[in-house]
Amino acid sequence: MSEPSPDTDARRIATEARDRARFEEEALALADQVYRVARRLVGSREEAEDLVQETYARAFRSWKSFTPGTNLRAWLLRILTNLNVDRGRKIQRSPQTQPLEETDYYLANKMASAAGEEALETDDVVERLSQDSIVNALSEIPPQFRDVVVLVDIGDFSYADAAQILDVPIGTVMSRLHRGRRALKQHLAEEALS
Amino acid sequence: MGEPCDRCEELLQDFLDRTLSDAEWREAEEHLVGCDYCRRRYRFEESLRRYVRTSSLERMPPGLMDKLTELRGLDATA
């Protein structure tokens, strides 16, 4: 066997540098979407910025473990949600655990009775809600439910992608989504009535 | 707002997710034509979902992209 010539070696290094640059550019192009999810997973803008920076630092370091051609957005979000879980363990943001058993139509009725019967024909109820309402409501939901709602309803991930990102079965995604949406609605109802 | 309709409540979330089977989809649509209560329920849920999605279209703060760009080329051992 012959030693790799300096020439082949140089070519290998050049190829790797090119692959890496391409990876980094593709990852950076997704930064807005990654930030949007981060912003809804954590309480403040500063925390979201930190989380996104940690995510990109880890992604750039371990770029070789990404399989080209697979879903880069999901790969980045998987790093982000893992980092967020680690942070959560350290910070222990104690979510208020409230019974989540109120039914969907009960909540719709509650909001309708506050905004008037006809409100459900229009967007009146929704118009009572501000940007802050969604931030407040999301922060009240237990994290495992919040993660799924943010990924599917805000990040536009499929159930399958969300399952892959969070490393749980699809059935778990669906049941958490169901409970998370209900909890979100409950808190949004409170926001609309406050 | 009228009485809730159990079957519709059951189909509602999947209807909005577009994950119903063809048969269930037809069942839901046929029901919606005749049921004022459910039509309002569906519209309400739909607008709520739209709110959740569109209230979150915030762009990242200026300066963050520069910070991320600076991270390029980070060493695996760093």
Every domain of chain A and the residues it spans: 6-91, 104-193
pLDDT > 90: what percent of chain B? 13
pLDDT-wise least confident of A30-34, A73-77, B73-77: B73-77
Is A126 close to B51, i.e. CB distance below 8 A? yes
Number of residue pairs across A and B with CB atoms under 8 Å? 107
Q: pTM of whole model > 0.90?
A: no
Q: What does the pLDDT average to over B37-62?
A: 81
The span from the CA of A116 to the CA of A107, in Å, is: 14
Nearest CA distance, A193 vs chain B (angstrom): 15
Shared fold status for A6-91 and A104-193: no
The span from the CA of A193 to the CA of A104, in Å, is: 16
Q: Is the pLDDT of residue A99 over 90?
A: no
A32-70 core/surface letters (b: 16 or more CB in 10 A; e: else): ebbbbbbbbbbeebebbbebbbbbbbbbbbebeebeeee
CATH for the A104-193 domain, from 3.30.360.10, 3.30.230.10, 1.10.10.10, 3.40.50.10680: 1.10.10.10
- Per-domain residue ranges of chain B: 6-70
Q: Higher pLDDT residue, A29 or A130?
A: A29
Sign of the four-CA dihedral A79, A83, A88, A89: positive
Per-residue model confidence (pLDDT) at position A64? 92
For the domain spanning A6-91, the CATH number is 1.10.1740.10
Q: Is the pLDDT of residue A10 over 70?
A: yes
- Is the ipTM here above 0.85? no
Per-residue model confidence (pLDDT) at position B55? 76
